[in-house]
A and B are shown apart, each in its own frame.
Chain A
Amino acid sequence: MESWRAQPLVFLVFLLPGLFWLALFFFIPLGLIWGIALGERVGPAEIEITWTLQNYIHALDPLYLGLFVKSFWIALLATALCLVLSFPVALAISFAPARIKPLLLLLIILPFWTNLLIRTYAMIAVLRTQGYVNWSLEWLWGVGKLLLAPIGFEPVLGESFTPLQLLYNNTAVVVGIVYVYLPFMVLPLYATLDKLDRSYLEASLDLGASQLRTFFAVTVPLAMPGIVSGIILVFIPALGTFLISDLLGGPDSQLIGNVIERQFKSANNLPLGSAMSFILLYITFVALALRAWLSRRAERDG
């Protein structure tokens, strides 16, 4: 690396386009809503920045606070499910023979390259009352009835099959988030597990610890950086999602993302929407700071 003074012109040509773009289309827009969050509506489309905290107070009144808490829990539950589902997958891939490793990884990444909207839409067809899950359940129900008929137990299954209401509720939102963001969890987990020093695992097993004990006492702590990265990569987008809750959720599955969207698109309460967006941003910053702190601590200890 050299000082920029060695070639100031080259340096500026390299740096300025990115800096300009970042300033104009990222920091200025964010600065605008940061200001609007501290302002008041004075006309149909006019907002005066009065440095009031009223919008933040409004955004945290019980109605909206409840939504934040609900979004938080839904995102947390989905993240936890992602972690539990992904860990064995990441572990198995990182210990797989080198020959099939890239293939397995590709298998996990490929859906991630498919459009978010298309994947959410695909989930509707699976979960709706005439969807694939209910169709399979009905088939199983028919088989069960046939099997139970000779011993006279078929009334247990009822007169007719009632499809389960799988779509348009909170469960559907959680399933949708897990479905969409699962690869975000597998990849960082795989990245750490793949670099992990296997002799620790072997030592633990040689010294008589069971697989399960080795897993929780050795593998999981060593994989912590990947776990934290994965949690952040899933949790932050899940917290701000509005597409998944909009398409898969019911009337009671409104998340904070939906409320923000409404403030900007139809309710036209920009100050409130801006304040809510910034609360979401502050939560993100806290999460990122936490990760930085954890990784610094791990480096110091390691």
Chain B
Amino acid sequence: MADRPGPLDYLRRWWLRGWILAVVVFLYAPIVCLVVFSFNDSRRNIVWQGFTLDYYGRALRNASLIEAFTNSLVVALVATVLSTIIGALLALALWRFRFVGRSAVEAGSALPIVIPEICMGVALLVFFTRVGWPTGLVWPLNLSSVIFSHVAFAFPFVTVVVRARMEGFDRSLEEASKDLGASEWQTFWNVTLPYMKPGLIAGALLAMTLSLDDFVITFFTSGPETLTFPVKVYSMVRFGATPEVNAASTVLIVVTILLTIIAIRLQSPAKQEG
């Protein structure tokens, strides 16, 4: 009797376990196949022919693929720094101050999160051509249009994450600090900022993954000289899937999974204290 599942022990029902298993297989099978295929010693055949690292070597020797990968990393790095600063500042403004149009700013800053990406992509494409944004600059300055677009869609996410973190902050700590003689700046640096830190890190990692992941907006804002990895892979896929693409994709998957795991590690202790 003790082993019969309780009425609400949904996870102990076999059909629900089967359902979850099916969904997990559906979510993972294609990715696992892609990764396995990148080590398979055969160009077209999906049947296992033997282990090889050949495609990783070829991907490494593919200069334009490496260039796109470097572009992606540079874009992600700069966009992350900018998004984190801008997003966190806006979060502080919304969290701390009462002002006319506050809810309008709040709603407006959330808009880039919710509108279809293609609308933002085409709008930025038109914007950069109309204002005559300089093209053909030396690397990495030519990446500026892509970087600024990434900041535009990533910083609102940072704002949301940092604001959520600040909801739990006790303002009396700041007052205590000031009562004890600390200046405004000292209080911010020694009291507010340390509390914000987990939110900042989580927001930064989110911005970084969003930037590395973005295809649609980059597709519209990048030129032939400023392809990022996803856009490059897209053009390769259009000309036919090759194991090199699998190898390069596997590298990117590993990078993002590592980033995610770091993000989760950093976030969970914060949850426990809060």
Contact = CB atoms under 8 A, between A and B. Distances in A.
Nearest to B118: A240
Interface residues of B, number: 84
Contacts of B99: 3-4, 11, 15
Interface string A281-297: 10010001000000000
Contacts of B249: 115, 118, 121-122
A30 interface: yes
A25 B127 contact: yes
A264 interface: yes
B137 interface: no
B126 A243 contact: no
Contacts of B45: 130
Contact of A124 (B26, B44, B237): B237
A132 to B, nearest CB: 6
A202 B7 CA distance: 8
Given A4-B99, A89-B19, A240-B118, A115 B46 contact: no
A34 B116 CA distance: 15
B119 A26 contact: no
Contacts of A166: none
B86 A18 contact: yes
A18 B155 contact: yes
Contact of A32 (B34, B37, B126): B126
A281 B117 CA distance: 10
A110 interface: yes
A205 B115 CA distance: 41
Contact of A26 (B27, B98, B105, B112): B112
A17 B7 contact: no
A268 to B, nearest CB: 11
A115 B215 contact: yes
A29 B127 contact: yes
Nearest to B17: A92
A110 B87 contact: no
Given A26-B111, A122-B31, A126-B29, A239 B116 contact: yes
A50 B24 CA distance: 53
Given A88-B19, A264-B125, A277-B123, A17 B257 contact: no
Interface size class of A (residues with CB under 8 A): 35 or more
Nearest to B230: A117
Nearest to B237: A121
A20 B27 CA distance: 39
A288 B117 CA distance: 16
A32 B253 contact: no
Contact of A95 (B8, B97, B109): B8
A278 B109 CA distance: 19
B93 A18 contact: yes
Contacts of A205: 7-8
A109 B127 CA distance: 34
Contacts of B209: 113
B29 A132 contact: yes
B256 A247 contact: no
Contact of B92 (A14, A29, A111): A14
A13 interface: yes
A13 B257 CA distance: 35
B202 interface: no
B90 A270 contact: no
Interface in B207-223: 209, 212-213, 215-216, 220
21 contacts: A2-B96, A4-B97, A13-B89, A17-B89, A25-B127, A25-B149, A26-B120, A29-B120, A88-B10, A91-B10, A92-B10, A95-B10, A107-B24, A113-B257, A117-B215, A121-B237, A126-B30, A132-B29, A243-B215, A260-B118, A281-B116
Given A113-B256, A182-B23, 20 more contacts: A1-B97, A4-B99, A14-B96, A18-B87, A26-B123, A30-B123, A88-B16, A111-B28, A113-B209, A113-B259, A114-B31, A116-B215, A116-B230, A118-B249, A121-B34, A182-B27, A183-B27, A243-B216, A274-B122, A281-B116
Nearest 4 pairs of A and B residues by beta carbon: A240-B116, A18-B90, A14-B93, A29-B123
